[in-house]
Structure formats: C-alpha cells, structure tokens
Structure 1
Amino acid sequence: MESKIIKTMRWYGDTDVLSLTDLKQAGVSGIVTALHHIPVGEVWSIEEIRKTQQKIENLGMKWEVVESLPVHENIKKKAGNYKQLITNYIESLKNLASLYIKVITYNFMPILDWVRTDHHFKNTEGAEVLKYDPIKFRVFDLFLLKRPNAKNDYSEAQFLEAEEKYNSSSKEELKILSKSVMLGLPGSTVDFTEQDLLHQLEGYSEITDDDLRENLIYFLSEICPAVEDLGIKMAIHPDDPPFSVLGLPRVVSKASDLEYIFKNVASKANGLSYCTGSLGAQPDNDLIEIFKTHKERVYFLHLRNVSKKEDGVFMESDHLTGDVPMKKIMQLILEHTNSCKRSIPMRPDHGYLHSLEKEKPYYAGYSFIGRLKGLAELTGLELGLNKE
C-alpha cells in the first residue's frame, strides 16, 4: 500500500528554539504552525499569513495545518463582542483559504489550553516526560490557587489527601507545581498568574457543560457555511486532559461528545483532530471505535501514547508502547487513507526531553530529539504495516 500520511512537525515561529532548517533536515515535508504573535480575536491578514508561508515554502516545505486558530474566550462564553469575534474568525479563514491553507485545528477548552502537573518527570530511562497527577493538581487548586469553593468539587478523602501532600511538599516543589499548571498558551512566553487565572475563572462560574456545548454548536453553525464555500476542513482538538479541571466545563472529552458535535453540525467541514494522547487519557474512550466511527471526519492526526494508572495519574510513554493500541490504530489509518485515496497530515505529538537537550528552553513536550524518536518509531511502524 502507498502511504497517504503526510509527515509534519509543529513549529512555533521565529521565537521557536528550532529553525525551519532544523525541521527540514529532520525529513518532514510539512509544517504545522500558527501566527502566535497576533492577539487572539484579531484577524490574520493575508500579508501576515503569506510571510510565514513563504518562509516555509522557501525551504521546499508546505504549511499543511494551522494549529491553532484560537477561539476567543468571549465566543466560548457567548458574551460581549462574540458576534464581531466570529466575523473576525471567518475573515481569517477566508485569508488562509486564499493562500490554499485549508486544514484548521482549534480547541474549545476554556482558559487553559492543556494542563500537566509535571513537565520534567523522570521516567525509568531518566528522560523527562509530561505527567498529570490528580493529587498534585488538587494541591494547586485548593492550597496554591485557592479557588473559591474548590473544596466542594472534592470528597473529604480527596481534600485530606491533598492537604497531606501540600504539607509534605517543599516551597520549591510547590513553586514548580504552580508554574507547571499555569504554563502560558502554546507559542506564548507569558505564563498565567494566579490573579489572572482566578479572574478568568469568574467568567465561567455560571457556565455549565450544556451551556458550553451549545456555544460550540452555535459557533460551528455560524462559521460552517463559509467554511464549506472555502473548501476548508475544521479539526477540533479534544480536551486535554479529557475531564474537568478547576471546575471548568468540558465538551470534547468523550466519544459521546464527538457524537453530539457531529450530529448537531452535520457539515463534513466540521471535523476532528484525532489526538490519541488526549482521547487516550480518558479510560472510557475506545480509540479504535472512535476512529472507525469518525474516520471520514479525521483531518489531522496527533499520534502519541500515554500510560494510565487506576488512581488517575497518566504520563507520556514511548509512541509505540503504552495504553494506546498504536499498531492497530496505524493499521486502521493506513487502510482508510489508501481505500479512499486521501491524505491526512500527521505529527508525532510531544516527545521525551533527553538529557542532551535538557538545558534548551523548549516549550514543554516539544523537544527535538524526543519528537524525532517518535517520528522514527511511527514511520517504522507505518513501513512495516505497509509491507505486511
């Protein structure tokens, strides 16, 4: 079988530790990026899009996927100037389409783009990986952030467990925990502050899962007519982690969430960024069934693996080993892409931070060697399955 998987890597623009030349030498043909320097909600002009596109094309690569065209919080809350912000969003889509950039990833997670409690947890080989520990997260929520009424979200046993962990932690450990949770948005060099986070949380105090879900449907219903005309494919990224944090609503975490989104906005322009790590961190998700059910709507692939524990802890594992059945998933992807003769961009999502690179200021999860290792493993798996 001839592969239809387009191998890409994420690039954070001119402020990235890695240059486009570095990525070119890694053998990727496509770049996944965004205009991180443009404030959320403002229009991406043709001129600004073209500047980034030309940098990529001058090295013989292609800007395959936008990750992400961020959705403003007012749209998620359906508040304030949300109608103007949707108009701006559509204008950005038009400008991207005019330059033939037509796969757009976005998410609908309130405030925080993703959350981990540890950015430098050492695995058994000594490499540093991303990890989520629910006890440590409760320590942050209850005793560091001190979110109002946070105690109501936890059982008495969970509170006492977190209190014990807080009392036994050093000031340095607590400082690292706080910094890890309040990491800035991808592409940003500015982290959240406790005051800013608490202020933003107030804006979601009256918004339930049902409210956020309906706001997502409204947003998609507003943009999809233009998206269809432009030939664009929207690829929503699942929640990460795929459950509520800080009392915030979650609406793209489970298979039932995806069913609801695609049922209520039937347009084929309304699609999925199939992230095996984010979906795989939710024990109830059957990744095989999710792909089989929604494969026609999968427009972007994030392939990574996680290891989960019964206590709710999960962490990054090797791309081919962990709780995600990567071999079976890759087989399904190859069967689908070859049978329908269409290509899907893929990137190895996240990667270990190896000791050789631990002093480099990478954005968490985006080391070079770790991602190259993942790309090599996934490519080897793909070639082996094709040979079979």
Structure 2
Amino acid sequence: MSAPAARPRHPPRTTTGPRSPLLEIDLSAVAANTRHFTHTTGGEVMAVVKADGFGHGLDRMARTALANGATWLGATSIAEAVQARAADADAPVLSWLNPVDADVTTACEHRIDLAVPSGRHLAAVVESCTRSGHRARVHLQLDTGMARDGAAPHEWPELMATARHAERAGHITVEGVMGHLPRAGEPGPSPNTTGRQEFLRGVALAEQAGLRPSVRHLAATAATLTDPDTHLDLVRIGAGLAGIDPSGSTRLRPALRLTAPVVQVRRVPAGTGLGYGHTHVTDRATNLALLPIGYADGVPRAASNRAQVTVAGRRCPVVGMISMDQLVADLGDQLVEPDTEAVVFGPGEEGEPTVDDWARWADTIPHEIVTGIGHRVRRSMR
C-alpha cells in the first residue's frame, strides 16, 4: 500500500460560544489526491463531481481538481453538469445518466457532452438537434458486464450504425465510447479482463462503422489504481478525489472532518436505559454526552451501539439508538463541559474515527457516508 502525502495535524479548537455540527472540507487533500491520479495514469483524468462533489461541494471539488491536473469534469444529470460548467468555462463536461426526454438543448447550449446508452436515447438526441440546429457531442455508453447503464452487447452494431448516420447528417459528433467495470474494486487485473475485452470489442465495432471517437474511457477510481490496462485515453475519478479507494490498495487523503458540540452531560446510575427501545442499558454508573447530530444529518442509524466518537481526545462508544437529531456517547468517568467539541469522524491521524470506520459500523461503503451528510450541517473550507 503506497503511503499518503504528509498531512498537517489539525489545530486545537477554542470555545468561542455556542456551536453546531460542522463539516470541514480540506481542499488540500482533494488537490493531493488529484495529483496522485494524474501521476498514476498516462491518460487524462476526469474529475467526477456528482452528488455535490461526493459531499465536498461540486464547485470546490471541480475547481480544485482542475487546478491540480484533471482536464475533464463528469456528472450524472444535465443539471449537475450545468453546475460543473459554471465552475469552469473551458473544460469538457460529460453527463451520463439522463432519461430519454432529457433537455438536450440545454446540454448543447452549455457545451455538455451526453452519454447515449441506447438507440432510443440516441434517437431523442438526434430529434432534439434536428429541431434546434445544435450538434451534440455524445459518448456511446456500452454495458460491459453490469446489466445496468449502457447498451447491451447485441445492440451495439445498430447503435454504431445509427450514430455514424447521425454524425454524417451533422446532428452529433461521437466524441467518446465509455463503459464501466463491474468488479473494479477487486485488486488486480484478472477480475476486469472480461469487461475490458468486451469494451475493446465495442470500440472496434465503432471504428468498423466509421466512427473515430477521441476518448475511450472505462476505468473509475479502483481500476485506475489497480489495473493500468484499463486506463485507455481517460480515467474517471470521483471517490478517489474524496480520499476513498474502493480497492483497498492505496492510502489516499480523506478530506472531511465532522464535529459536533456536546450540548449536555449527565451522570446516570447502572441500569439506566438509553433512547428509543432501551437498546442499551448501562452496566455501571457513567457520564453521558448528548450530541446534536443524528440520522437526518447523515449519521447512519445502522451504526447505533457500534460506532464511536472522540470527545476530549478519547474515543467513546455511541450508546442507544441514533435518533433523527441526536446521539449519546458514553464518557465513562470522563467529565467534560457542555460545548466541548466531539469529533464524529476525520482523517484519522489523531486517532479519531474515520469515514471507513463509520462505513464498517453501518455495514455500508464510505461513499454513502460522505455523500449523506445533510445540508443543515454547516460547511467550512480549510
């Protein structure tokens, strides 16, 4: 596992009055992660800024990634892509998850490339361009083993032929061919061999139809880190910018730190039931800290009675059910003042829980944790 870049320790906090939950976003970590990927691949890097930049802020994520070597931006919907375009006037922007009746005119007016995952989608793009006089830049999206987005293999010859006809008619330009690997999170090239071979067969069919796409892209974060044969012309990096490696092969820099103030501390005797359903009963006299953050803020309820937070530099178990707006931490014999900062998660260099920890406690993946932090949690940059 490669070592992460050096990270400064977080400065100590001072109490300046009542606080509320705060998500701190370290853009230097996003910058370092972007540079890691630009050095990892010989092709171009697309910064995938969907889901509000994986919870880090779409605009901030886009600008930081482009300033550190990324050359493309990627999003799911056209609305997200329009926001990405506003972050940079020049970089190519791709949108790849749209209904058949998507607003192609808006996409063209904002110079947004569109993925076309079926003949129906392509026909709708052509029809819109015929009416408006625009020429859309499209990426033929191929299903290479996920049975999810993309045209099924038996549809590829007709899709290529139709695309070539529409290109000759001046309605579209086939800018790219794209796919997605179903087992890219498994380290090593062998799980991806079939998907890569299928994708290259699709590229060959496109070329045989007379198409000349300028970019072929298949790899996302995990494959970029583990399988150079999948890099081709362009790699798509989203989770990796946020410091998440689905393959578990590389230590990237997490960019988020979530804190909440202690709002109340109470001493309770042994045998005290906590929260809804009394799913935890104290086995000794102890101090309990109440934090004003819960599942409505993105702290997963599934982590109840399993998670930990750090209070005054010490890890404390989360006890009882995590509620919509609050959770309780067991301080043991430790006693702290209200408004003391509790760290829900952070990069981990000071011993605090990490996003990976919370994902494990909630039986989910880190992606769900970072994208789930609610909008009522304040944000700050550092």
Q: TM-score, normalised by structure 1?
A: 0.37
Structure with more helix by fraction: 1
Q: TM-score, normalised by structure 2?
A: 0.37
